[in-house]
Chains A and B, each alone.
Chain A
Amino acid sequence: MAHLLLRHREIENIKKLDVYRAHGGYEALKKVLSMAPAEVIQVVMESNLRGRGGAGFPTGLKWNFIPKVAGDKYVVVNTDESETGTFKDRELMEGNPHQVIEGTLIAAYAIGAKLTFNYMRGEYMDAAYAFEEALKECYANNLLGPNILGSEFSCDMYPHYGAGAYICGEETALLESLHGNLGQPWSKPPFPAVEGLYRKPTVVNNTETLANVPLIIQNGAEWYKSMGTPGSTGPKIVCLSGHVVKPGNYEIIMGMTYRELIYDLAGGIPGGKKVKGFLPSGGSGPVVKEEALDAPISYEGLDKFGSAMGSASVIVMDETVDMVWAAKKATHFFKHESCGKCTPCREGTFWLDKVIHKVDSGRGTANDIKVLNSVAEQIGGKCLCALGEFAKNPILSTIKHFPQDYQAKVRANG
């Protein structure tokens, strides 16, 4: 099937406005401009589109939370993409930026925003080039700025470049960073829908989420819902990395299994090795064992394996991988990226990192494994944002599923 999001894979130069338009681009925006904002939100709600940034929050519902009164409102696109193993928004922005812009404009129209920002990670320069070229084309063709396509709707869109901080992908940290402050999360409430950017009602959506919106408007909620499972409708880009023959982004319809993705689409494991386990959601979701390969890729698919699809950054590890080493790598990431605001996260990740390094280097004892367990447990549920929750996962899930790897490392030391 042709791609719905990664359309540049079939349509050369779809990042150019004329090509995008020749393939139906901005027709959805046109359609929206003759609809009432409430109708637009209704269609998105009916489609069951859920956020692609990791948490899976229903997009229409999020838009519907925005107070329907006059005043400044904002849409902020989240292209901060810094989770280990995640590179989907990069490809979308590099290859098909107009679809993201169109989705953003539709969101802005639906909630009544006149100003939108795209917060992009500062390292994504090729994506930035493509995005900025696309913005220029839009301004030159009455798709951005005053009275878009001759309507009453006026809207601006600007890029904003981050400077290297994973935490700024968390929506409130992102907004603080945009405010010019330290990129640290705030305690919700207030939710961004009520008090977001510049303390005004704000929708923060992931890049991929917004790229789905023109499809839904153009083809209808029923069409969209016909793809996927009842709880997970539509296409999803899966970032596949690690031990696979063909790593890369795969646009799938949710409901496909991890096995089909890894073996049928990506050529299996190099050297015909076996899968030991995989991280379904970069470093942040619990690792699962080979037994989870037949689970569907969907928001609910990994429930019974104690993990989640998240942003669908699948890191595959073959039978040779030492899971203590893998946990060390993932834990080091969280220690580095903890923003330092919450003590359990800041101190907890520091100690987890120290102890897991010790165990990995062969200097650990059985007691260190207990310490790891207890420190990780104590971070859970005590932090302002989910980074703390994520940080406990690599250690707890590897200890649970691969105790033999830990035993092998500490055996010599009793």
Chain B
Amino acid sequence: MIREKYADVIQELFRRYPERKSAILPLMHIAQHEYGYMSEEAMQEVADILGLNPTHVKSIAGFYTLFYEEPVGKYVLEICNDLACALRGADEFVAMASNKLGVPVEGTTPDGLFTLKTVMCLGACDRAPMLQCNLRFHEHLNEEKFTALLDHLHQEASSDQVESAVVEKIVSYIN
């Protein structure tokens, strides 16, 4: 699936790196975007493109927090509740979000739209509480802004255009 769709990108990645294996992270970012999460097929395809054993791809998927090994909602809401954010109300914010979504942390809403996660520092500690949603940052949050964000995402979801910033990036630079 990605081999054809991203043929140009793959070629460019191979040109850039002196060793092909270095293309594994960009390819996994793309694969996750296309498959929704790091499914067996996604990992197999990355392995095939790079001529690697799929167990290697699997070990990489398990190592990094941005790769999801289980299916996730269309939108992954990752709230930072690390120390600096927690000093500015992040734990209370997580509780509010969990309550509003009706799912615990790591849970996905029954409509498959939202997965709630907590994450370590995202480099936005001066703008807490904050979260990233499919890699976009939303900062200086409060309950009202969180509700507005959910409304916005509900609308966007019905348009079926869910972006993944990192893939946009990898692809846009190459084109």
Contact = CB atoms under 8 A, between A and B. Distances in A.
Nearest to B164: A125
A180 interface: yes
B161 interface: no
A283 interface: yes
A329 B86 contact: yes
A251 B124 CA distance: 17
A57 interface: no
A207 to B, nearest CB: 12
Interface in A169-209: 177-183, 198
Nearest to A81: B123
Interface stretch (B58-66, B93-101, B102-110, B149-157): B58-66
A329 B20 CA distance: 39
Given A86-B121, A247-B125, A129 B63 contact: no
Contact of A180 (B23, B124, B172): B23
Interface in B11-36: 16, 18-26, 28-29
A155 interface: no
Most buried by A among B18, B20, B121, B122: B121
B166 interface: yes
A241 B84 CA distance: 6
Interface in A316-332: 317, 321, 326, 329-330
Is the contact region of chain A dominated by helix, strand, or loop, or is it mixed?
Answer: mixed
B69 interface: no
A125 B126 contact: no
A247 B126 contact: yes
B19 A179 contact: yes
Interface stretch (A17-25, A157-165, A404-412): A157-165
Given A161-B169, A165-B63, A315-B83, A87 B21 contact: no
Nearest to B169: A128
B129 to A, nearest CB: 12
A136 B173 contact: yes
Interface in B78-92: 82-84, 86-88
B66 A164 contact: yes
A156 B28 CA distance: 23
Contacts of A337: 120
A179 B25 CA distance: 10
A115 interface: yes
A85 B125 contact: yes
A248 interface: yes
Contact of B121 (A243, A326, A333): A333
Contact of A161 (B87, B120, B128, B166): B166
Is the contact region of chain B dominated by helix, strand, or loop, or is it mixed?
Answer: helix
A189 to B, nearest CB: 22
B113 interface: no
B165 interface: yes
B82 A163 contact: no
Given A161-B26, A178-B22, A122 B123 contact: no
Given A125-B136, A333-B82, A165 B65 contact: yes
A123 B123 contact: yes
A33 B125 CA distance: 40
B122 A123 contact: yes
Given A161-B170, A183-B63, A333 B120 contact: yes
Given A81-B123, A122-B29, A124-B123, A132 B84 contact: no
Nearest to A136: B173
Nearest to A166: B120
B25 A115 contact: no
Interface string A230-257: 0000000001111100011100000000
B143 to A, nearest CB: 20
B59 A125 contact: no
Contacts of B88: 241-242, 247
Given A122-B135, A179-B22, A180-B19, A333 B83 contact: yes
Contacts of A122: 25, 29, 64, 66, 135, 166
A192 B131 CA distance: 35
A137 interface: no
Interface string A83-102: 11111001000000000000
Interface in B133-172: 135-137, 165-166, 169-170, 172
Interface of B: 16, 18-26, 28-29, 50, 59-60, 63-67, 82-84, 86-88, 119-126, 128, 132, 135-137, 165-166, 169-170, 172-173
Interface of A: 72, 81-87, 90, 115, 121-126, 128-129, 132, 135-136, 156, 158-166, 177-183, 198, 239-243, 247-249, 279, 282-283, 315, 317, 321, 326, 329-330, 333, 336-337, 339
21 contacts: A84-B82, A84-B120, A85-B121, A87-B124, A122-B166, A123-B66, A128-B166, A159-B169, A160-B25, A162-B64, A163-B28, A164-B65, A166-B120, A179-B21, A239-B125, A241-B126, A241-B128, A248-B126, A333-B82, A333-B83, A337-B120
| In the complex, the 8 A-B pairs of residues with the closest C-beta atoms, listed nearest first | A180-B21, A163-B64, A164-B65, A247-B126, A241-B125, A164-B66, A329-B83, A241-B84
